[in-house]
Each structure stands twice: as C-alpha cells, then as structure tokens.
Amino acid sequence: MAYDYDDQNIFAMILRGDIPNDTVMETEHTLAFRDIRPQAPEHVLVIPKGAYVTHDDFALNASDAEIVDFTRVAGKICALLGVQPGEGGAGYRTLSNAGDDAIQEVPHYHLHILAGRNLGPMLKHD
C-alpha cells in the first residue's frame, strides 16, 4: 500500500512558506530548521522538500539525488553544531518517528538531530 501524502501537514506549510521557521540550512532538495519545542539544547529537524511521509517512503521512493542531498545536509548540521564525536564534539542522536507505534506527529518525513546534553538511554520504559 502506497502512502497518501497530506499536503496540509505543518511541514508542507513550512515548505510552501505559509508559516515561518528558523532555518539552519537549505539546499535544492532539503530544509533543516529548529524544532519549535526543543527537547535538547540543539534540536534540528531535517526534511526533504519532496512529499514523503516516513523514512521507508523516502528511502524507497526518493531519487538518489534527494537521498544524497538529505544525508549530506544531516551530516553538515552535525558539523555546524560542533557535535561530531570524531571531531572532538560531545555527540548527538538522530531519530525518526514513523506511524502510530512511534507516535509520529507530523506526516512529512523528518530526521530529528538532538544534541547539547547527555541524552540518556535511547528509550525510556514504563
């Protein structure tokens, strides 16, 4: 079953310029901006400009050019934030929520980049 893309989602509105965002980096295929409710001192969202819903949708259906651009932007954001462990930075976490079990809020594919404090264990259990 293919994904239906809801073009009224909040990130589609950001991409259209209907609502403002705090842009960190923009390229031909990718936009990176600060999360409106940051969960760490650094919390950047990286999104493709194309209409993809989840990581699997993007990874399986986007063009090579889109995927390369997106992946490079994510790396450049880590460099920009100065958090690359291999460069003396303190590290970071990337994650992407998809669908109901992951409680995906916005149905436009996005990668969270979180950094700036000890982020604790990957998942908290009840």
Kindly list the catalytic residues.
110
Residue from 15, 29, 33, 69 touching ligand 5GP (CB under 6 A): that is: 33
What backbone phi and psi angles, to 5 degrees, belong to 31? -130, 135
The region of 23-31, 49-57, 62-70, 97-105 touching ligand 5GP under the rule CB under 6 A is: 97-105
Interaction of residue 37 with ligand 5GP, rule CB under 6 A: yes
Q: What is residue 40's DSSP assignment? A: S
What tokens were used for 45?
Answer: 């969202």
**C-alpha to C-alpha distance for 80 and 76, rounded to whole angstroms:** 6
Strand, coil or helix: 94: strand
Interaction of residue 9 with ligand 5GP, rule CB under 6 A: no
Write down the least CB distance from residue 88 to ligand 5GP, Å: 28
